[in-house]
Amino acid sequence: MTAPEEPPLTGPRLDYGPANDADGTRVVRAGLPAEEPYEPPLPGPVFAAHYHLPGEVEGAPYAYGRDANPTWSRLEQALAELEAPGDPDAEVITFSSGMGAISAVLFSLARPGQTVVLPSDGYNQLAEMRERLEGLGVQVRTARTGGDAQLAEVDEDVSLLWLETPCNPGLDVCDIRKLADAAHERGALVAVDNTLATPLGQRPLLLGADISVASGTKALTGHGDVLLGYVATRNQQVAAAVRAWRKTVGAIPGPMEAWLAHRSLATLDVRTQRQAGNALAVAEALTARPEVRDVRHPGLSDDPSHPLAARQMSRYGCVVSFTLADEAHANRFLSQLRLVDNATSFGGVRSTAERRGRWGGDQVPDGFIRLSVGVEDSADLVTDIRRALDEAAG
């Protein structure tokens, strides 16, 4: 008799509270104010450097434009509802970019003499972060995502464990719950870069992490026209430190960017569902090509990360990675694509791809391709990719 399949650790039908709304309903209404007659459901962006401020500053909801803005407040409330549904202690602090959010966590929480563990195969700007942290007297260790490498680095000296899962661009997955439990036993905080999964694909705070960080530039907003980042946490001390960092360095989001991000949340569920399905179809088509090596997507049943991803994630994301023979082969392939733009970033409604080696910061082969799958018709995408591969081979 076979054992029953283990249920997902997070997913779209967890008990979120009395309403128990599914994600598709939640994202449409997240962060909206109470209905007012003849007013728009989502009020427009508030452009203000200062506000009328009678009396004392303490307790004032809005006093100065670097501290708070009603447009950010609505977006932050919406994101808190998605990152930790039904939890009144969840807080979100938005930033002008994903790097603003990453920097705020690392530089507000890490102190000289403390030790931070970063992924060695994560977002390439983490290498820059390592240099800056070490320059401030912070000890930095690195470990590859997945397996026991990260677990081996977590000891009593570590104050912050930084995870990225799935990691970018290699798409390996690590066990958030297992690593968070180990880190907490040793007194460390755990932050998870959740950019690729989005809060509809994975909820780090519900898996034991202290902090969830994401670039809203990617799938969260999904249209390639906004730079944004955010930090989510249920730890009040962490939230205060991160918010103070934002105020000090002025890494605030613009009201128009915040409003565009909130507007885009309404389609997050349908976009990411479609993208995940398209990405799996593309990945399966790529595995059938003899000239394509090392196809990775957590949704592939034979992907090394699939068993854990199936337990930890409720959808597998839009990114597919694979390798062609060399730089020239990869560039020929990219030049022949009709429906896939040669561009960096990922998560947009329009498919994009690039040879990651051109940036010089990722430890990948010269022919390594990161493909972000959009919402186009999946059959058209597969046809275009197959044709471009044929042309590149010829």
Which tens digits make up the pLDDT trace of 158-215?
A: 999 999 999 999 999 999 999 999 999 999 999 999 999 999 999 999 999 999 999 9
pLDDT recorded at residue 362: 83
pLDDT recorded at residue 5: 42
Which percentage of the chain shows pLDDT scores above 90?
A: 91
pLDDT recorded at residue 12: 32
pLDDT recorded at residue 394: 76
Tokens encoding 353: 């791809």
pLDDT in tens, 342-380: 999 999 999 999 999 898 878 899 999 999 999 999 999
351 close to 344: Cβ distance less than 8 angstroms: no
Taking the chain, what is the end-to-end CA distance rounded to the nearest angstrom?
51
Q: Computed over its alpha carbons, how large is the radius of gyration of the chain?
A: 21
In CATH, what number does 23-265 get? 3.40.640.10
Q: Domain extents for the chain?
A: 23-265, 269-393
More confident residue, 4 or 305: 305
pLDDT recorded at residue 268: 98
Q: CA–CA distance from 378 to each of 244, 276, 278, 330, 375 (Å)?
A: 45, 11, 5, 22, 8
- Closest-CA residue to 91 (of 102, 75, 106, 104): 75
In CATH, what number does 269-393 get? 3.90.1150.10
Cα 35 to Cα 40: distance, rounded to the nearest angstrom: 8
φ, ψ at 211 (rounded to 5°): -140, 135
- Sheet of strand 189-193: strand arrangement: 91-95, 229-233, 211-215, 189-193, 158-164, 115-119, 139-143
pLDDT in tens, 255-267: 999 999 999 999 9
Phi/psi zone of residue 224: left (φ > 0), alpha (ψ -120 to 50 degrees), beta? Answer: left
- Closest-CA residue to 244 (of 68, 29, 38, 366): 68
Cα 378 to Cα 382: distance, rounded to the nearest angstrom: 6
**Angle, helices 327-336/378-393, rounded to nearest 10 degrees:** 130
Tokens encoding 351: 């498919």
Q: What is the pLDDT of the chain when averaged over all its residues? A: 93
Q: How confident is the model at residue 21 (pLDDT cuts 50, 70, 90)?
A: confident
Q: How confident is the model at residue 18 (pLDDT cuts 50, 70, 90)?
A: very low
Cα 29 to Cα 206: distance, rounded to the nearest angstrom: 21
CB within 8 A of 282, min separation 6: which ones?
A: 320, 371, 373, 378, 381, 382, 385
SS3 of residue 374 by DSSP: coil
Q: Is the pLDDT of residue 240 over 90?
A: yes
Q: Is the pLDDT of residue 8 over 50?
A: no
Average pLDDT over residues 270-299: 98
Burial class (CB in 10 A: 0-12, 13-18, 19+), 3: exposed
pLDDT in tens, 295-336: 999 999 999 999 999 999 999 999 999 999 999 999 999 999
**Torsion, Cα of 268, 272, 275, 281 (10° steps):** -160
pLDDT in tens, 61-96: 999 999 999 999 999 999 999 999 999 999 999 999
pTM of the predicted model, to two decimals? 0.93
Q: How confident is the model at residue 7 (pLDDT cuts 50, 70, 90)?
A: very low
Q: Is the pLDDT of residue 9 over 70?
A: no
Which H or E element spans position 8? none
Ordered alpha helix ranges (H), 37-175: 70-83, 98-109, 126-135, 149-153
Q: How confident is the model at residue 147 (pLDDT cuts 50, 70, 90)?
A: confident
Cα 244 to Cα 242: distance, rounded to the nearest angstrom: 5
Q: CA–CA distance from 125 to each of 40, 109, 168, 248 (Å)?
A: 39, 18, 11, 22
330 close to 370: Cβ distance less than 8 angstroms: no
Q: How confident is the model at residue 51 (pLDDT cuts 50, 70, 90)?
A: very high
